[in-house]
Structure 1
Amino acid sequence: MSRAAERKEHPLSMRLPEADIAVIDRAAALRGRSRTDFVRDAAVRAAEDVLMETLPIRMSPAGFKAFMAAVSGPATPVPEMTKLFQRAAPWETTALSREVGTGSRQGNGSKQKGGTDKRG
């Protein structure tokens, strides 16, 4: 007989308050995932974040010199980002402002610092 295959998965058990389970289940359902898949992915992402925050970045002296030259030089505009920042935000468009009835940022004195409420 062949030797039994080594187990590749290891169980993890946790005790959680009912409220936490409800939140996890709701979020998992919104993602179309099982509770186990959702919790596993969230835990692995959180662990990777911690590791990335604490792992040292190693590079050669030449690599470090090139890195410092790149970050110390003048900034270069990215055309796509420039275009994005020139576009009005959805809540700043005239059509949406009329729909909602709030007016633009400039025309709505009640929302601005030091403005007065003109509704009476």
Structure 2
Amino acid sequence: MPRAVERKEHPLSMRLPETDIAIIDRAAALRGRSRTDFVRDAAVRAAEDVLMETAPIRMSPSGFRAFMATLSGPAAPVPEMVELSQRAAPWESKAPSSEVDAGSRKQDVSNRKIRPSKKR
């Protein structure tokens, strides 16, 4: 007698406007995924986010005291963050001389007097 096989997949049906389907299909194609895979992953990810937002965090009384002591204590610098904050921003770095020359030419042009245009 064959055993009954428990079904692992359950259908989910939705009615969506064409515009929503077009957006989903475009995004799925950009990710190289099927519409079904894309929608399933997006729905599961959204559901996990909601569950994580509402999940209580449980800890022992001694663990909670240690947690509060850490939060209440003085902040300790994170070496990687210190190094990052000391780096020059990309727009603050020195440009090659050819770019500086081009920039100074643009400045020269912008400093010229503008003559009022003649009305026709």
**RMSD value, Cα:** 2.7
Unaligned runs of 5+ in 1: 104-116
Aligned equivalent of 2:48: 48
Secondary structure of 2:95's partner?
A: helix
TM-score (ref. length: structure 2): 0.72
Aligned equivalent of 1:22: 22
Q: Rate the CA distance shift 1:42–1:70 in 2: closer, same or farther, 3 A.
A: same
Q: Deviations over 1:9-59 (max 9, x none)?
A: 111111111111111111111111111111111111111111111111111
1:65 and 1:51 map into 2 onto residues whose CA distance is 26
- The one of the two structures with greater contact order (alpha-carbon pairs below 8 A, sep at least 6) is 2
Aligned equivalent of 1:32: 32
2:53 and 2:111 map into 1 onto residues whose CA distance is 50
TM-score (ref. length: structure 1): 0.72
2:89 and 2:34 map into 1 onto residues whose CA distance is 36
1:95 and 1:4 map into 2 onto residues whose CA distance is 72
Aligned residues: 105
1:55 and 1:102 map into 2 onto residues whose CA distance is 55
1:66 and 1:40 map into 2 onto residues whose CA distance is 40
Kindly indicate which of the two structures has a greater share of residues assigned to helix.
2
2:88 and 2:20 map into 1 onto residues whose CA distance is 39
Q: Which has the larger radius of gyration?
A: 2
2:25 and 2:55 map into 1 onto residues whose CA distance is 33
2:62 and 2:93 map into 1 onto residues whose CA distance is 49
Identity %: 77
Unaligned runs of 5+ in 2: 105-109, 115-120
